[in-house]
Amino acid sequence: MIKIVVLVLIVFFQLEGFSQDSSSLTRHISLGLGLIHSSLQDEVFSPLVYRGSGFFLDLGFVNNGERETHEVSVGFSSQVLSPTLNTQSLGEVENTLAFLDYGYSRTISHKKWKHQIGLGLFNFLSARNYIFLVEDEISVDFFTSLNAMYALQRDFNSQHHIGFRVSYPLVGYVLGRMRVPNDFSEEIFQAIVEDPNAIPVDAVLKSGDFLTLNDFRDVRVRLEYFYELSTHFRLGAHYAFRYYNYPKFLPIRNGMSQYTAKIAYTF
């Protein structure tokens, strides 16, 4: 498994090294604010499906050239989810999301539409507090994945810019997978109980598992539009859908739809 990951990374960096064309570059930073809706089922803690919405904030940087595109994005959201399919349940879930993503794509065709393929290194955290009548429970999804990507871009009349991207993981490194109903090993769990302010970071990071295509799924689709207001400013709208699932002690499933308004500064 490790050999496959190393091979993919070597190919990735070779592609980047051979694609240093700086012609027709556009660079922009963006700020986005919007709404995210989640539908979550974590069977370790509850068989119910919890749903809810919350505000979403993200920051992004894009370096878009004729032959290659680099993109970095970071985002945050906080939500309260309820079991909408079971009105008799009084529990709820406080859900905090955060991500840090990097994507690299290379142009394979550029006529009217620019077609690109590439790789993405995506990091995701979902920290959840299950509030029940008797006691609360804490659950975490924390993973890093190497994803294959396909992107499509087109400009209309030099003012309208649309883009589409879809990705799927080749491999994921997942922390906190349960072999028994504890997020981490007894050693880590005991250290956190004894001193919550001194979490053994090294032990936590080493506690993960590599999951491949058959076990780890994280489908991501994005559609975006920008309108060029002036030489340096753009307004845009962004829709993204994401669905991931993987086995913990029991399966975890999470689907998200994200609607974002953006302003971008081009330089």
Question: How far apart are alpha carbons 202 and 95 in whole angstroms?
Answer: 25
Alpha-carbon separation of residue 258 from 2, 31, 58 (angstroms): 33, 15, 11
Whether 36 and 53 have beta carbons less than 8 Å apart is answered as yes
Q: Give the Cβ contact number of residue 258 at 10 Å.
A: 21
Alpha-carbon separation of residue 61 from 18, 71, 107, 213, 223 (angstroms): 22, 6, 19, 29, 17
Least confident of 86-95, 245-254, 255-264: 86-95
pLDDT of residue 4: 46
Mean pLDDT (whole number) for 98-104: 97
> Could you tell me which residue, 162 or 22, shows the higher pLDDT?
162
pLDDT of residue 26: 83
Whether 113 and 154 have beta carbons less than 8 Å apart is answered as yes
CA–centroid distance for 258 within its chain? 11
pLDDT digits (tens, 9 = 90+) for 159-179: 999 999 999 999 999 987 765
> Could you tell me which residue, 164 or 88, shows the higher pLDDT?
164
Claim: this prediction has a pTM higher than 0.75: yes
pLDDT digits (tens, 9 = 90+) for 172-216: 999 877 655 555 566 666 666 677 666 676 766 777 889 998 899
pLDDT tier at 31, thresholds 50, 70, 90: very high
Cα torsion 181, 217, 99, 5 to 10°: value is 100
